[in-house]
Amino acid sequence: MAKRAQRGLVIYHTGVTLLTLWSVINVSLMILRLGSHAVELTIANGLLVVFAIDYFVRLVVTKNRKIFLIQSAFDLLGIIPLHPVFAFFRLGRLVRLIRFHHLFWRLGIAGKWTKTYHRFIYKTGFIYLFSISVAIIVLSAFLFSLAEKQSLADSLWWAITTATTVGYGDETPHTAVGKIVASFLMFGGVGFIGLLTSTIMDFFTSRTTQLATDHEAQQQADLVELLTKIDTLTTKVNQLQAKITSLEKTTKKNTPSH
């Protein structure tokens, strides 16, 4: 029974992996304008439905929904129907599957960089800030689209440029609701985007400092080890010199004088 369940899990994860890669390739073709846009859009919408059903089924059957929502933040972003490009967030699912099956460890390539990735994503709070930032941007874009009668793609572009303080001005709110949404995005979105940027900078700064400290500590350790070896070698040389001197004295005593 356990082997059958394990086999079913492997088949399920393999299917998810293939569908994820298919969705990413399909969206890439749409962005590059290769192939039939109508067919690619139909495929994108079909895969969106499949991943949405998969997400909510897992949400229902999971034992700890709080942990699930945190760990599956990218899965939720991957089923946002604002723009097909959100399918790229589904690649986060593949990362978790790789970790779940310990593929890097099995291939012998697991090491410091996997630990660094885990520390950057979870211990710094990056995943939470990123999820909140994206949620604010997506919600603002959706409300802006309804209030200003704009397409979801243009509204998403407006939300991103506003949240990042770029503000090209090609899309601006004209209605009262649109201006309220813009104000909400300016205060909430800009704040979380700032925290997100600060978190990234702090991580790399601390990482650089840690590497420099580790390098200095390693140099100190190497120096201590070298000095220890020199002391050991000096002691052995002194012992050898003493033996040679003793041997010379013994030889002189045993040598008959003429």
Q: Which residue has the higher pLDDT, 231 or 119?
A: 231
The C-alpha atoms of residue 78 and residue 86 are separated, in whole angstroms, by 5
Q: Name the residue ranges covered by the structural domains of the chain.
A: 7-110, 111-225
Q: Would you state the pLDDT for residue 244?
A: 81
Say how many C-beta atoms besides its own lie within 10 A of residue 45's C-beta.
Answer: 12
- Segment 26-34 mean pLDDT: 86
User: Which residue, among 94, 92, 61, has the nearest Cα to 77 in the 3D structure?
Assistant: 92
Residue range 50-96, pLDDT digits in tens: 999 999 999 999 888 877 877 787 888 888 877 787 888 888 888 77
Q: Which of 106-120, 160-174, 214-228, 236-250 has the lowest mean pLDDT?
A: 106-120
DSSP label of 183: H
Whole-structure pTM value: 0.58
pLDDT confidence bin for 253, thresholds 50/70/90: low
Residue range 175-207, pLDDT digits in tens: 988 889 888 888 887 777 788 888 888 877 877
The C-alpha atoms of residue 52 and residue 66 are separated, in whole angstroms, by 18
Q: Which residues of 98-126 are buried (b: 16+ CB within 10 A; e: fewer)?
A: beeeeeeeeeeeeeeeeeeeeebbeeeeb
- Segment 163-186 mean pLDDT: 84
pLDDT confidence bin for 225, thresholds 50/70/90: confident
In the CATH hierarchy, which top-level class contains the domain 111-225? Answer: mainly alpha
pLDDT of 247 over the 80 cut:
no
Start-to-end C-alpha separation, the chain = 98
Q: Would you state the pLDDT for residue 53?
A: 94
Residue range 97-150, pLDDT digits in tens: 777 666 666 666 555 666 676 677 767 777 777 777 877 888 888 888 888 888
